[in-house]
Structure 1
């Protein structure tokens, strides 16, 4: 018996040594991969942490926090988290929910009585904190006026901006990512806890977890050991303070994020029932989400080996970040970068988690049904023009405005932005895409579905992920008063020290709708939105999802000039 025990112990020891060697090889593989990607894409610095249970498996910095003086990035270098900040706002709010100080299912107005945003969807019920947490409250996607500023307004001013606009959609209609929503949640944390948001985070999360290198940056001198920031060419850039602190202005380090990730797997910060609520599929009944899954704040993807992966990305002018946890396997990690192209580097995180799980033989107990179709196999069918005619018409997309799907020679076709495509019917009742040059693209399918009263145009990837490209809309000729609103507009309510996120506004008369075009100053790209009048001076942007349903109005100043109000901006016609 003693010999058997000794033999068993030796086998276990050898197995543990082999695993350790494999993990060392894994680190070296990803160290090389990260450094190679950083060099290729001009990413100056990055920092990473990998956590399993209560153990930090790997934490390391790469490249430089400051290229000029050759200060290396380490696991204790402070990076802006950008929208990963929302995870901390959600955690603090859920702590209050756990303590019985608020109920995320109750109306938000109960805890934030200042919130009085008008809505044309009042019959759909009041907005709740839970809907805000999951981006299903129907709030505007952004209040852009004052978002980036040398000395930003207090984020609690967001509620007043919202009270002067309108709801973008009905609650629980569709996922529509909202930054001002998380400012409302931060404001709610202040109201309910009776202390400033920053102090509430310090008392609830940072201090108990010994996250000594985490906090809020809202302008002024950077804290010690803070990274510099770099653009896509690797040139030093300026990261401006963000007004919406609870949505994007927290900073942290890889080591501190490792401490935070660990408590997602135990009761030290939140009780099990609270964590189960956070890490659960919240939007399964929202048909227009097309099966894209959401937890409370965290985005949910499923993997046959790993099970449910909850993650959140972040991005500002020069920051790209990601945090991911797999609660069932007690596995998680984070990656922080200080460069505009950091998104090319952060992609390694989920691959790292998967390979680590394979080495440790970690597998989900859940039965994850893989996407069942092989897009490489298809059969083209002929459809009568009568069957296709119902799909022809105008469709709204929040980023490009209006596109038209036409029926030409018994074939549906459309120009989406700069891409022209024909849609070829298949036996599976969807459509292949045929483009000039490459021809048929087998990796995607297009389809039309009636969902909650909307005829929607959907793109499905070979992985099964779906994206709503547009919803069919009815357009009528504009009357002369609306045609007269066409022209160039200039922002006139810019705050001192503000950097405008959007500029070069132009309203174009398209005959049956007005098209708002503008430049997105952070990326330099051009975007468009279709304006739908509801009366002689108000309306909203067409489409479904993020940036859709944005309220706008026209007024006149003392000189009789047209003033255009949208995104918090006031603009005068030139």
Structure 2
């Protein structure tokens, strides 16, 4: 009866986690300033509580002020089987924190006159030749790669995580045989593939393997135990856990995107470098102007810009401090390890968090936010200028008439339908029907759910999240706004078109011919729902996935929607025996016999 809730919860879980009114850390001036014991007590209580409730095995923390580490420690276990406690020197896989080092390396090459951020990347990578469906599309540049505005696909999923992985060089032939998902500068869509391309550019310029060149940068930063590598090994390496049980942590192909192995003790050097304006341990690694350039706001470059401000590599943390006192953040993940860093350059404050448990991903950002607030109060004696939560309000571009809202949308949770029923606006996703209501006339819409249409169900992540529609860049978009003034594109308006006989013949259940090591997908297929072509799948751990496909011709379809993984291409191919298959991100699907 409740199986379809998997899709619904997947959809809303992918919305920002801070939609609710959260308690903000606040200390009195006398109590907070310079009181290290109080700071440690507050953070110890917070972290230990979250670790117990979420079954997090190991976690490490470091706090920085200027070029000094104020405090660092570990919690729980780095390796339960060997009874090794987590410490500040435990090595974790930092995942996408790696991208911040790519930004540093790129700015150093700019300073040396070897890299132009705004030159077409073919100037450095002559073999790059990705296809496009967009007329008069501008050239992709290194700046686009660093700000996730390149329009490249998000991931080459097949082979990204596996034992004995290929080199990240495998990304290039894949890209040359597929299409961009969006024109450059259209929208910020997170891309690991883009940073693998950046790794190739760095290699082309410095005439050295990427890992070797980046190791020299780590040495300059005195990160001597850290490395860019496909695997995490060594005496201080943390094991990996899922639901508090030892888990498989396969190797990584895309080392430039997510290959950094490090500890909080060493990763804190990055925060010190940026907060100090390019100086580190008495050595200038970046010019102040380069750091300023790196931390500038490039979000206005995007045609679809909803307020998620983007610097070179870093994201603005406008949900933490007031934009007048900007903070910057970035998260990271491997298959099971999780990471999060946040800095406040004006006060030269920084927080580093690393964990060996998959479940930590949902809580590290909140711990970092509270830690930064407490650190600010410790330093200044005044309450941190945290963004106060409030009910989301309509934007001048919002369209809120029922007729504006009605229609079908391709979303993270599959096909959504907003419609009028007995003069009331409703939304249907994954078989569940929600009522849409306005708290005030002309305001945003909020969702309400009643089990069996009668029993009210309180879903806190919905109670404080408003919805609207906007026209941007030629698309009609479903928009979500939360209590911290953050906005997200949830989906785009779509219209059913005729589905050709070639695609209708492909309806049915499919299996993966080249299974993934990091995730098991035992079932999936193609179907038609309300006149739309739908791809669906279910993972072995219960996650249900549904995407709307828009056929471009009888051999190609794109994943309909706006954002990460959307706009990417599904190709029709044939196996060695001439049997038709479907291919997405190099995953090969074959239809099962009826």
How high is the TM-score relative to the length of structure 1?
0.88
Q: How does 1:133-532 map to 2 (within 5 A)?
A: 133-203=146-216, 205-219=217-231, 222-232=233-243, 234-264=244-274, 265-267=276-278, 268-302=284-318, 303-304=321-322, 307-346=325-364, 347-361=366-380, 374=391, 387-397=401-411, 399-417=412-430, 419-425=432-438, 426-436=440-450, 437-438=456-457, 443-493=464-514, 498-499=517-518, 502-510=521-529, 512-520=531-539, 524-532=542-550
The alpha-carbon distance between structure 1 residues 525 and 210, as it changes in their structure 2 partners (threshold 3 A), is same
Question: Which residue number corresponds to residue 565 of structure 2?
Answer: 547
- Displacement after TM superposition at 1:542 (Å): 0.3
- Displacement after TM superposition at 1:287 (Å): 4.7
Question: Which residue number corresponds to residue 588 of structure 2?
Answer: 570
The one-character-per-residue Cα deviations of 1:51-75 (angstroms, maximum 9, x if unpaired) are 0111110011111111112111111
**CA distance in structure 2 between the aligned counterparts of 1:243 and 1:409, rounded to whole angstroms:** 54
Question: Which residue number corresponds to residue 51 of structure 2?
Answer: 38
The alpha-carbon distance between structure 1 residues 374 and 82, as it changes in their structure 2 partners (threshold 3 A), is closer
- Displacement after TM superposition at 1:376 (Å): 10
**CA distance in structure 1 between the aligned counterparts of 2:53 and 2:433, rounded to whole angstroms:** 31
Question: Which residue number corresponds to residue 132 of structure 2?
Answer: 119
Do the aligned residues in 1 keep the contact of 2:93 with 2:333 (CA within 8 Å)?
Answer: no
Question: Which residue number corresponds to residue 7 of structure 1?
Answer: none
The alpha-carbon distance between structure 1 residues 369 and 50, as it changes in their structure 2 partners (threshold 3 A), is closer
Do the aligned residues in 1 keep the contact of 2:415 with 2:430 (CA within 8 Å)?
Answer: no
The one-character-per-residue Cα deviations of 1:453-512 (angstroms, maximum 9, x if unpaired) are 1111111112211121111112113122211011222333459xx555655331113362
- Displacement after TM superposition at 1:194 (Å): 0.9
How high is the TM-score relative to the length of structure 2?
0.86
**CA distance in structure 2 between the aligned counterparts of 1:88 and 1:103, rounded to whole angstroms:** 17
Do the aligned residues in 2 keep the contact of 1:45 with 1:65 (CA within 8 Å)?
Answer: yes
- Displacement after TM superposition at 1:409 (Å): 2.0
**CA distance in structure 2 between the aligned counterparts of 1:479 and 1:362, rounded to whole angstroms:** 67
**CA distance in structure 1 between the aligned counterparts of 2:125 and 2:538, rounded to whole angstroms:** 35
The alpha-carbon distance between structure 1 residues 23 and 465, as it changes in their structure 2 partners (threshold 3 A), is same
**CA distance in structure 1 between the aligned counterparts of 2:521 and 2:388, rounded to whole angstroms:** 39
Aligned residue for 1:329, secondary structure, equals coil
**CA distance in structure 2 between the aligned counterparts of 1:519 and 1:67, rounded to whole angstroms:** 31
Aligned residue for 1:308, secondary structure, equals coil
Aligned residue for 1:404, secondary structure, equals strand
Do the aligned residues in 2 keep the contact of 1:396 with 1:542 (CA within 8 Å)?
Answer: yes
The alpha-carbon distance between structure 1 residues 183 and 420, as it changes in their structure 2 partners (threshold 3 A), is same
Aligned residue for 1:456, secondary structure, equals strand
- Displacement after TM superposition at 1:177 (Å): 0.7
**CA distance in structure 1 between the aligned counterparts of 2:554 and 2:539, rounded to whole angstroms:** 28
Do the aligned residues in 1 keep the contact of 2:33 with 2:381 (CA within 8 Å)?
Answer: no
Do the aligned residues in 2 keep the contact of 1:305 with 1:364 (CA within 8 Å)?
Answer: no
Aligned residue for 2:313, secondary structure, equals coil
**CA distance in structure 2 between the aligned counterparts of 1:567 and 1:433, rounded to whole angstroms:** 34
Measured on the aligned residues, the alpha-carbon RMSD in Å equals: 2.7
The alpha-carbon distance between structure 1 residues 390 and 77, as it changes in their structure 2 partners (threshold 3 A), is closer
- Displacement after TM superposition at 1:94 (Å): 2.0
Aligned residues between the structures: 542
The alpha-carbon distance between structure 1 residues 266 and 508, as it changes in their structure 2 partners (threshold 3 A), is same
**CA distance in structure 1 between the aligned counterparts of 2:433 and 2:313, rounded to whole angstroms:** 36
Do the aligned residues in 2 keep the contact of 1:305 with 1:363 (CA within 8 Å)?
Answer: no
Do the aligned residues in 1 keep the contact of 2:308 with 2:486 (CA within 8 Å)?
Answer: yes
Do the aligned residues in 1 keep the contact of 2:130 with 2:175 (CA within 8 Å)?
Answer: yes
Question: Which residue number corresponds to residue 103 of structure 2?
Answer: 90
**CA distance in structure 2 between the aligned counterparts of 1:229 and 1:78, rounded to whole angstroms:** 11
Do the aligned residues in 2 keep the contact of 1:394 with 1:404 (CA within 8 Å)?
Answer: yes
The alpha-carbon distance between structure 1 residues 508 and 331, as it changes in their structure 2 partners (threshold 3 A), is same
Aligned residue for 1:175, secondary structure, equals coil
Higher CA-based Rg: 1
Q: Residue 25 of structure 1: which of 34, 38, 42 is its match? A: 38
- Displacement after TM superposition at 1:77 (Å): 0.9
- Displacement after TM superposition at 1:553 (Å): 1.5
**CA distance in structure 2 between the aligned counterparts of 1:309 and 1:27, rounded to whole angstroms:** 22
**CA distance in structure 1 between the aligned counterparts of 2:204 and 2:76, rounded to whole angstroms:** 42
Aligned residue for 2:531, secondary structure, equals coil
- Structure 2 residue runs of 5 or longer lacking an equivalent are 1-28, 279-283, 395-399, 451-455
Question: Which residue number corresponds to residue 80 of structure 2?
Answer: 67
**CA distance in structure 2 between the aligned counterparts of 1:502 and 1:184, rounded to whole angstroms:** 28
